[in-house]
Structure 1
């Protein structure tokens, strides 16, 4: 290992099997010519971020390069805010002649790059050094509002280059960042890349989107007697009123478009923006329907003349000439704003009022028909002040009749013959607590609510009367405990231990990290009755070979980006594709249905099983897989099916056909052509051996694969 100074970075790490979080020290090797900046297991420190996907977005990179080359034609002072790997800084330096041996090196131009995240600053310095530009770009490990004129920089900048945009446009602090820059860091009337951003919207009807927020209406079709959102408590359990980033192309055919696209807000980067803005629009309906959502996107004008554009619009939108579009990317999506309740009924040619408001970081909408109709469910809360906010996917699950029916059958069967049962809900599922209390009028329920905690208790208290139970039959432990004693269970043994499993706040976790339920079941072993029933009974790790070209391309190794070498960042950013044989990429949690083009190449298969009737233990599985369809295999998609009964007749699947759950993806370093054995469609491989093991001490899953075109296969190495 080469010598050099070692610095420390603190990273918040969550133990997936306990839910406990701690700050850990990550050592960085500042001088390592092999490209390794973080030691050992920390090499994929930034793998869960969107940096790699963004840097693989060729149309974004090209649009910025063309605009910077066009805009910066003379030596000047350029400020790059949120510099990341320094790509825009290097483009600006090159535009002024730095790094070009054919250009005079006496340029008076200056590039100032500020980046607040220390691990990214380390990567940037590495990239600049590799591209021989470290002497031409001054790097500050600060937020831009921490830069001091006369201290950090000697003069105001003539040009601002930046990419501090999220799917909503404003969520990364674009407005306050521009305000401070114009006040303290930029000359009057500066040149900026981008020049302007404009947000657009469209009214749509969509049953799928409606089910992601209107639990009150959807549970009226349930026959289980449970009222998660009782009458008069319309918003006690709901998704937050905000814009949600979502890939809308996959559900385009399921949506009815109810208006033409309309312009909402325009933000000019070259002048100081206002913190508050409001626009009122009259929108003419193009179809009969129910306005259930506003789909929005933005178009970026990168140059002053309006010849270079970038758009996040869905594919059904016609775009301006010279607009970069067509490549799939995950760092920018469309946004969805849910219209409260069932939405607003509208007829073709009818006019609807839309009032849009923005603050420093977000945009919100209010809609109402021009002619008053029956009252639309209010977004306000009736029946008290408490609200439990959950993700749209969780709202969708709670309103799903098939899911509720499966849970109802499983819990009812488990409670048969039980007198005064003591039940523990181990996870954050409020439905299971209500269902148990409803099915057994003599049961006593202890809800651990490890993530919800007091929020879960307040929710149960608020809806107890409406669901016909008394709070003296239910308890939420005041303090989070690693294990329970007989004192906690009032000297009684537990008859029923249940979970979905679902853990509040763990939306970004990999599927097998919900095996936290198995860990917690193990810690509860001493208080379980000998004949205690545990639901789910077991978990099955399932997998499927898939073609995932868009996802793979977004996570592939970087080489040159618009002429600048970036290979030194691959390991730290968690690259998955085109890796050297000795390296493996990280698992990616994602919704497969939102991952661009995809195709199943094999049947779903079980890799291993987890038996929850026994304490947690190391598990192993090995299976031979045949490919049912020809194609290019980019990786394996993994998920867990939860088996809710001994007969395996009640199974809650979280696979790629289910839109409410994220799957885990293991991308291949090199795509493999596969086909059907013995057919003309077969190209190279017709079979594969999959081998996996689960380590209970860490929650890690080790997954190996070997492809073969013949019947005799060796195990993975």
Structure 2
């Protein structure tokens, strides 16, 4: 029912009787766990739909360079006078195996542990005429056995593998290559790719730090020019080393004005995947000296990597952002449009345990560390002084209970300014406030602005963090965190009925912007605590849509048809079926990372009055709007505006933060994931005088879902 996406905890599976499968997942709007019976032929459609194979196979440079690496390596083995026996680890669609056969391999063994993809590869290999030429084994490579009558008759002398992620080693590349070297390959085997290099660049960036470290909340004191601190951040949060978890970003979409380079891009790890020239350690530390490019602070490390696809290192595949991405002549690219788009191999930001002051004339040392699956970094100022090499672990709790997106929201000046302005107008010395949400620090602001008392609802995950904020701000006498389910709280537990009910709104279960309608359901559970005429914030919500042309994001659902001359229709049908059966039509994406041109003006699809009770029947809105002579439309961008009060100035948008200009790229709120609805086929309205967008939007009160349907008619 609800989409799961990158880094979201996956649903659990429960086998029931013999052939039925139940799936369990949290409904982010109603807050309830819901079980759904899957069909008897359930084949893990959700997992297939989320596998991201399609976006990877749309990466033409990746495909071309794997093909060229195979061609060169097979030619090298032929020059040695050897037969060519290829092992393809994690074959996916079977593409690399078919490439190997086309390049002249004598035998190809392909393994794929994910059964639906193994079946897809088997059918695709047959459809392309390679039956009998590729031996497909539905196993992990570490489970393969070598010998007569076993999985592999002999060891392979050429390994091709694509087992990489944003961190290069996060999908288990180290274990995969070490096991292959020890058990599956000949001593002189060639590898495609042959090596990998990790690059790191130290930067100063207060903007990036908004996603990592909470900042105090201030306002200008009424009647003066002095700033007043409304929310003091506990030392436990300020001194916390944070989480080592990678913050994957499309760095090519990060404006260069957001950061100041402190170092040039530095090679920090080099992996020889064969393990012959240099072992592949499960743990390693490197020290790289550098001269700072500017004085200031070291806040974060930007990271990317490249691969050498052939044995001579002449065929390179770089994942660098455009401003660090050289072409074959060594020149840097001028824009993000000049490099291949990749959502499967993004770049990353790592936050230092503590910012470090730097001076341009004083050399520094970048200390880089990795274990078997992840990386982390630190800065050493004095080479004679020991620094902590341990992987950072969050000690304050905020990095555990809050996503990067949420931490950014808590630091967002635009949101803070609006919240404070609204609360300044509403809070009086008699106000009894109730906040609904997770880690709602505006409760601290309400108390500082003079509310008589503030009650908070917090889940078990955020309760400890919030209590630390209450304590350091010395508000234990004015703020109470209510225990358990709000519906079970009685008026006897309050000093007086609630006069202001406030939600930011945000919940840890929020994936799409309208999932925070959970605040409406929570409010419905505490009507018995509210005084007559109580003020309710937000008072209403509008759901908006905008026809767009995504530059690259459309590729996550677009069919492949053919890749490097190989028929991919089997795979296209598998993904299409999986998406239809397992996916909602809308999925969340941080659209500021994915350029899109406006092909129309925003359309309000539905408005809900949150001052009323939850309706018994579905609420629907249908309509149509004329489309301009715009060009290609391949999707709809979706978001919500939260109207805190009836004053238009008191509206918080999760969508465009600047007026939408036709044919121009949209500037999105960077602290929210918007929704995307991709059209099955792109529509070109160029030179059309009667194009119309027909829309239908339905809010279903029984489970809180919002359903969308869009059609463009010429």
Q: Could you tell me the TM-score, scaled by structure 1's length? A: 0.81
Name which of structure 1's ranges 469-478 and 689-698 shifts more when overlaid on structure 2: 469-478
Q: Tell me by how many angstroms 1:700 deviates.
A: 3.9
**Paired residue for 1:590?**
589
Mapped to 1, the partners of 2:178 and 2:711 lie a distance apart of: 55
Q: Tell me by how many angstroms 1:530 deviates.
A: 4.3
Mapped to 1, the partners of 2:704 and 2:237 lie a distance apart of: 39
Mapped to 2, the partners of 1:207 and 1:269 lie a distance apart of: 37
Kindly provide the CA deviation profile for residues 74-110 of structure 1, in whole angstroms up to 9, marking residues without a partner as x: 654433222222222332344346xxxxxxxxx5x24
Mapped to 1, the partners of 2:482 and 2:137 lie a distance apart of: 48
Mapped to 1, the partners of 2:492 and 2:573 lie a distance apart of: 48
Q: Tell me by how many angstroms 1:52 deviates.
A: 1.6
Q: Tell me by how many angstroms 1:311 deviates.
A: 0.9
SS of the residue 1:519 aligns to: helix
Q: Is the 8 A contact 1:126 1:568 kept in 2?
A: yes
**Paired residue for 1:438?**
448
**Paired residue for 1:262?**
266
Mapped to 2, the partners of 1:295 and 1:259 lie a distance apart of: 10
Alignment of 1:523-602 (within 5 A): 523-525=525-527, 528-570=530-572, 572-574=574-576, 586-595=585-594, 597-602=595-600
**CA distance 1:326–1:320, shift in 2 (3 Å):** closer
Mapped to 1, the partners of 2:265 and 2:599 lie a distance apart of: 38
Alignment of 1:422-461 (within 5 A): 423=434, 425-440=435-450, 442-449=452-459, 453=460, 455-461=461-467
Q: Tell me by how many angstroms 1:417 deviates.
A: 6.9
**CA distance 1:379–1:528, shift in 2 (3 Å):** farther
Mapped to 1, the partners of 2:427 and 2:376 lie a distance apart of: 46
**Paired residue for 2:69?**
67
Q: Tell me by how many angstroms 1:50 deviates.
A: 2.0
Mapped to 1, the partners of 2:64 and 2:392 lie a distance apart of: 45
Kindly provide the CA deviation profile for residues 625-667 of structure 1, in whole angstroms up to 9, marking residues without a partner as x: 3556844222211001111113343111111421111111112
Mapped to 2, the partners of 1:65 and 1:58 lie a distance apart of: 10
**Paired residue for 1:86?**
94
Mapped to 1, the partners of 2:260 and 2:368 lie a distance apart of: 22
SS of the residue 1:468 aligns to: coil
Mapped to 1, the partners of 2:573 and 2:515 lie a distance apart of: 23
Q: How many residues are aligned here?
A: 655
SS of the residue 2:254 aligns to: helix
Mapped to 1, the partners of 2:311 and 2:509 lie a distance apart of: 43
Q: Tell me by how many angstroms 1:476 deviates.
A: 4.5
**Paired residue for 2:317?**
310
Does 1:395 find its partner at 2:407? yes
Mapped to 1, the partners of 2:123 and 2:614 lie a distance apart of: 43
**CA distance 1:203–1:422, shift in 2 (3 Å):** closer
**Paired residue for 1:120?**
117
Alignment of 1:235-634 (within 5 A): 235=239, 239-254=242-257, 255-271=259-275, 272-319=279-326, 321=328, 326-339=339-352, 343-347=356-360, 350-369=362-381, 388-389=399-400, 390-416=402-428, 418=430, 421=432, 423=434, 425-440=435-450, 442-449=452-459, 453=460, 455-470=461-476, 473-478=479-484, 481=485, 484-487=487-490, 490=493, 494-504=498-508, 506=510, 509-525=511-527, 528-570=530-572, 572-574=574-576, 586-595=585-594, 597-617=595-615, 618-627=618-627, 630-634=630-634
Alignment of 1:157-176 (within 5 A): 157-176=156-175
Give 5+ residue unaligned stretches, structure 2: 1-17, 221-226, 657-667
Mapped to 2, the partners of 1:82 and 1:670 lie a distance apart of: 30
Q: Tell me by how many angstroms 1:196 deviates.
A: 0.6
RMSD between superposed Cα atoms in Å: 3.8
SS of the residue 2:649 aligns to: coil
**CA distance 1:385–1:698, shift in 2 (3 Å):** closer
Q: Is the 8 A contact 1:212 1:395 kept in 2?
A: yes
**Paired residue for 1:197?**
196
Does 1:705 find its partner at 2:703? no
Q: Is the 8 A contact 1:157 1:186 kept in 2?
A: yes
**CA distance 1:469–1:572, shift in 2 (3 Å):** farther
Q: Is the 8 A contact 1:78 1:161 kept in 2?
A: yes
**CA distance 1:620–1:466, shift in 2 (3 Å):** same
SS of the residue 2:558 aligns to: coil
SS of the residue 1:215 aligns to: coil
Mapped to 2, the partners of 1:311 and 1:207 lie a distance apart of: 27
**CA distance 1:440–1:120, shift in 2 (3 Å):** farther
Name which of structure 1's ranges 561-570 and 121-130 shifts more when overlaid on structure 2: 121-130
**Paired residue for 2:649?**
649
**Paired residue for 2:13?**
none
Q: Is the 8 A contact 1:386 1:459 kept in 2?
A: yes
**Paired residue for 1:689?**
694
**CA distance 1:708–1:574, shift in 2 (3 Å):** closer
Mapped to 2, the partners of 1:548 and 1:445 lie a distance apart of: 44
**CA distance 1:416–1:267, shift in 2 (3 Å):** same
Mapped to 2, the partners of 1:203 and 1:486 lie a distance apart of: 50
Mapped to 1, the partners of 2:455 and 2:274 lie a distance apart of: 60
**CA distance 1:21–1:560, shift in 2 (3 Å):** farther
SS of the residue 1:159 aligns to: strand
**CA distance 1:149–1:251, shift in 2 (3 Å):** same
Q: Tell me by how many angstroms 1:123 deviates.
A: 3.1
**CA distance 1:112–1:599, shift in 2 (3 Å):** closer
Q: Is the 8 A contact 2:436 2:502 kept in 1?
A: yes
Mapped to 2, the partners of 1:593 and 1:94 lie a distance apart of: 41
**Paired residue for 2:7?**
none
SS of the residue 1:531 aligns to: strand
**CA distance 1:355–1:388, shift in 2 (3 Å):** closer
**Paired residue for 1:712?**
none
**CA distance 1:700–1:465, shift in 2 (3 Å):** closer
**CA distance 1:571–1:432, shift in 2 (3 Å):** farther
SS of the residue 2:48 aligns to: coil
Q: Is the 8 A contact 1:46 1:574 kept in 2?
A: no
**Paired residue for 2:5?**
none
Kindly provide the CA deviation profile for residues 572-595 of structure 1, in whole angstroms up to 9, marking residues without a partner as x: 435999x9xx99983231111211
Q: Tell me by how many angstroms 1:365 deviates.
A: 1.3
Q: Tell me by how many angstroms 1:169 deviates.
A: 0.8
Q: Tell me by how many angstroms 1:152 deviates.
A: 4.2
